Amino acid sequence: MRMIAPLLLLASLSACGLQPLYSGGSSGVVAQGLGAIEVAPIPGREGWLVRNALNDRFSEAGTEGSPRYRLDVVLDQQLEGLGLLTDDTIGRERLSLRARYQLVELATGEILVDATAGSDAGIDVVSSEFATIAAEQTAMENLAQDVAGQIQVRLARALREQR
């Protein structure tokens, strides 16, 4: 009976229409598509972080010579003070990173994906200015990874639907 239950669970999953996103491994449609994306330069330090994170994620899928797609990304970063203390100083900050991105097919110039991604982080403002700046930089690095992950998943879904 213990052996039959997992088999029944697997059978019910196939009936619900779920399909693996990266089926076929590195030779699958999604992995080959992600490996064929060229990320256009993104201005600023946060742009450098996001572009590197995207290139790292896409290179894991493998490359197949010349790119078939170009990814254009425009970032918007905001640092907002929250939580006033009794001496009218800011005790907490919110760092936001938003990305508007487009996946363009190079052969036709057609925009295949036009979407947004974003993430926020909270930062404690402490008496040490150095510690606050270090926290802001670490938060931006984490936000860049998060936004890159969101972009990768959305592009992978779009590439799978294209086949």
Does 7 map to a domain? no
Owner of token pair 């088999």: 7
Lowest mean pLDDT among 21-30, 42-51, 62-71, 108-117: 21-30
d(CA 44, CA 53) in angstroms, rounded, equals 14
Closest CA to 92 of 130, 136, 142: 136
Is residue 50 in a domain? yes
Domain count, the chain: 1
CATH of the domain at 47: 3.30.160.150
Give a yes or no: residue 16 inside a domain: no
List the end-to-end C-alpha distance of the chain, in Å, as a whole number.
Answer: 39
What does pLDDT average to over the chain?
A: 84
Structural domain of residue 86, as residue ranges? 24-162
Closest CA to 151 of 22, 37, 65: 37
CA 109/CA 49 separation, integer angstroms = 26
Is 42:11 a contact under the CB 8 Å cutoff? no
In a domain, 8, yes or no: no
Considering the chain, what percentage of its residues have pLDDT values greater than 90? 52
The predicted model scores a pTM of 0.80
- Confidence class for position 7, pLDDT limits 50, 70, 90: low
What is the torsion angle, in degrees rounded to the nearest 10, for the CA atoms of residue 90, residue 94, residue 100 and residue 101?
130
**Per the domain annotation, does 13 fall within a domain?**
no
Does 14 fall in a domain?
A: no
- Asked if residue 17 is part of any domain, the answer here is no
pLDDT score at 83: 73
Query: Residue range 93-116: average pLDDT?
Result: 95
Q: Which two tokens stand for residue 95?
A: 């760092």
Query: Phi first, then psi: what are they for 87, rounded to 5°?
Result: -95, 20
pLDDT value, residue 5 = 72
Q: Which residue did the predictor score with more confidence, 101 or 31? A: 101
pLDDT of residue 64: 58
Decide if 148 is inside a domain: yes
Q: Identify the CA nearest to 139 among candidates 63, 65, 80.
A: 80
pLDDT band at 85 (very low <50, low <70, confident <90, very high): confident
